[in-house]
Structure 1
Amino acid sequence: MRNFMALVHNEWLKMSKKRSFFIPYAIIAVVAVGLAWALKHWGGEMLGTASDYTIMMAGTTGFGQFTAMLAVIFTAGLVASEHGMGTIKFLLIRGQSRAKILASKYVAALLFALSLIVWLNVICFAAGAVWFSTDLPSGALRDILITAGSTLVYSIVYMTLGFMMGVLTRSTGAAMGIGMAAIVLSGITIPKNFYKFMLFPNANLSVYNHGGQPPIPGMTLPFSIAVLAVYIVLFLGASFVTFKRRDIA
């Protein structure tokens, strides 16, 4: 376990040393603060509290969707870039199994996605506290946590898809493109019964908040969670099988 955590720590260090590492955080901060200012001055009485602003911004129908794209963009090349630079060979000769190496990269990607969602909610609430009321209506904290959790699941699903494509194609561009295209296509709903078993209509769990209607009749929160779990297992299974069997030379 200690060796695995060391691998995860090493992957995080490699990510954080990139010049582009803090760009997603900066983008989130600029947009969150700028939009809060704009809504305060030109939005009238649209929003009343910092919690309202946080829930609006952090949801998958708000800036949370773009945050998921940022997670996909930054993590899609974790494996593909190692192949491109030839550094993957050095990782494999250090006595660690391929499964551990790939798992450490995926865990580092999960931590990055989590950090983006936490940062998004913190900076949105802070900006909202400056421009709006700091009152917390009943249930506001619960709604913020539910929104953050839904956005995190949404980000993880598409990040895992991009991660798999990076392993399968060894191309950072392909992994980014497919991951981002999937996020864009997630807004499309086909009103057919078979479509409820597809990834896209199930990824946004926020539709179930406050008894909301699912995109297709017959879908429920447990159903969507089960479908997402199956897809994530399939994505990771394909990633690990391919990575373990592929000739690195």
Structure 2
Amino acid sequence: MSSVLPLIKNETIKMIKKKRFLVVILVLLVLVPMFTYAQMKSAENNRSKFGADWRRELQQAITDNQNSLSSDRVPDEWKKYRQIYIQQMKYYLDHDVNPKEPGGVTFTREFMNNAASLFIPLLIMGVGADIVSSERIGGTIKMLLTRPVRRWKVLLSKLITLIMFVSLIVVSAFVICYLISGLVFGYQGFDMPVFTGFQLSGSDMDISGVHSVPQWLYLFMQLGLIWFVSVVVSLLAFMVSVLVRSTAASIVIMMAALIAGSILSNMASAWESAKYLFMVNLNLTDYLAGSPAPIEGMTLGFSLAVLAVWGAASLVVSFTVFTKQDILN
């Protein structure tokens, strides 16, 4: 391992010099205030309608969704989501808990939940999609491989560095979101109860396993799932970077896969085999919230297993190809 540490240090310096991580931070610093402002305006609009009576506001949301179920303009797939939303909100009402209690922690939880399957993976892709291919274009990979160091150690150092920066991006997204939104909504809310354990049984919600957890614990579980998704996406981007010599092609391939996954998640309910695609399994945080899976029969354990297989397979392909292909010519 000692022979790998200098390589990791070298890769870290190169990653910092590329300024990709700095760009990710700047993107977060620009977009999070925009989302915070939009949420603030929405909260102000609701206060003008309902005052401080959150129960009345929640009851109105339930009524609006119930009325939409009788509309022919609403697709049946959307009606299922709205039926589940209605049952969940009724559960919160019955237990006298405001699911949208204003606060920086609540905003951060909602932001991270919405960003888990596309926004954060796109940020990850921007860092990892060219970690090998860019060095081929620049010719630095040839200089690196002429040293008396095994190829797998060179690739391992790149992988470890990538995972380090992936972890930094996930943590940075949480910290920046909490600090900025807290300026508007306050920094309270860590001990607020959040209900989890909702299970879908046909079109009905099974609440037998529902239990309350403090929001800080829910956030911890949420961040763990987001980190796992981010690592798998980075491993796939890593593999593409090894297989494809062009940096632009690497980025386009990963962007296409992630965006296709977002579309498939809304359209793949009739295509059962799509549940084995990694893109359809990225939104792990939906299982915590009790949202329906894209395809019937999918569970948190199933999605974790599918992503783990894709991640492991990408590692095998990456190291096999990198150690055997002719890179020096």
Output the TM-score relative to the length of structure 2: 0.71
The structure that has the greater radius of gyration is 2
Partner of residue 2, structure 2: 2
Partner amino acid, structure 2, of 1:146: M
Q: Distance in 2 between matches of 1:66 and 1:243?
A: 29
Q: Are the equivalent residues in 2 in contact too, given 1:65–1:151 (CA < 8 A)?
A: no
1:184 aligns with 2:263: no
In the alignment, which residue of structure 1 is the partner of 2:32? 32
Q: Partners of 2:311 and 2:303 in 1: how far apart?
A: 12
SS of 1:95's equivalent in the other structure is coil
Partner of 2:226: 151
Instruction: Report the Cα offset of residue 166 of structure 1.
Output: 1.2
Residue aligned with 1:227, SS: helix
Per-residue CA distance 1:48-101 (angstroms, 9 max, x = gap) = 111111012122x23773232122122211100111111111111221111111
TM-score by length of structure 1 reads 0.92
Aligned residue type for 1:194? S
Which residue of structure 2 lines up, in the alignment, with residue 167 of structure 1? 242
Query: One-letter code of the match for 1:115?
Result: L
Is 1:104 the counterpart of 2:157? The answer is yes
Separation in structure 1 between the aligned mates of residue 106 and residue 302 of structure 2, nearest angstrom = 29
Contact 2:117 2:283 in 1 (8 A): no
Relative to structure 1, the CA distance from residue 64 to residue 129 in structure 2 (aligned partners, 3 Å threshold; closer, same or farther) is farther
- Letter of the structure 1 residue corresponding to residue 306 of structure 2: V
Q: Which amino acid aligns with 2:239?
A: M
- Identify the residue that residue 315 of structure 2 maps to in structure 1: 236
**Equivalents in 2 of 1:233, 1:101: separation in Å?**
19
Relative distance call for 1:181 and 1:47 in structure 2 (3 A) is farther
Any residues of structure 2 matched to 1:41-190 within 5 Å, and which?
A: 41-44=41-44, 45=46, 48-59=102-113, 61-62=114-115, 65-136=118-189, 137-138=192-193, 139-187=214-262, 188-189=264-265, 190=268
Matched, 1:12 2:4: no
Q: Quick one: distance in 2 between partners of 1:63 and 1:193?
A: 23
What's the CA shift for 1:244? 0.7
Number of positions where the alignment pairs a residue of Structure 1 with one of Structure 2: 248
Letter in 2 for 1:231: W
Match among 283, 304, 315 for residue 204 of structure 1:
283
1:47 and 1:132 in contact (8 A); partners too? no
Report the Cα offset of residue 194 of structure 1: 1.8
CA contact (8 A) 2:125 2:251 kept: yes
Q: Is the 8 A contact 2:274 2:280 kept in 1?
A: yes
If each structure's strand is expressed as a fraction of its own residues, which one has the higher value?
2
Q: After TM superposition, give the deviation of residue 154 of structure 1 in Å.
A: 2.4
**Unpaired runs of at least 5, structure 1:** none
Instruction: Assess if the C-alpha contact under 8 Å between 1:157 and 1:203 holds in 2.
Output: no
Per the alignment, residue 22 of structure 1 pairs with 22
Distance 1:143 1:21 in 2: 27
Contact 2:124/2:169, CA 8 A, preserved across alignment:
yes
User: What amino acid sits opposite 2:39 in the alignment?
Assistant: L
Shift of 1:23: 1.2
Q: 1:38 to 1:217 in 2, by over 3 A?
A: closer
AA aligned to 1:145 is F
Given residue 241 of structure 2, which amino acid in structure 1 is its aligned partner? G
Aligned AA (1:92): L
What is the percent sequence identity of the aligned residues?
A: 31
The answer as to whether partners of 2:21 and 2:165 remain within 8 angstroms in 1 is no
Displacement after TM superposition at 1:38 (Å): 3.6
Unmatched tracts of structure 2, length 5 or more = 47-99, 194-213
Distance in 2 separating the partners of 1:120 and 1:224: 23
RMSD (CA atoms):
1.9
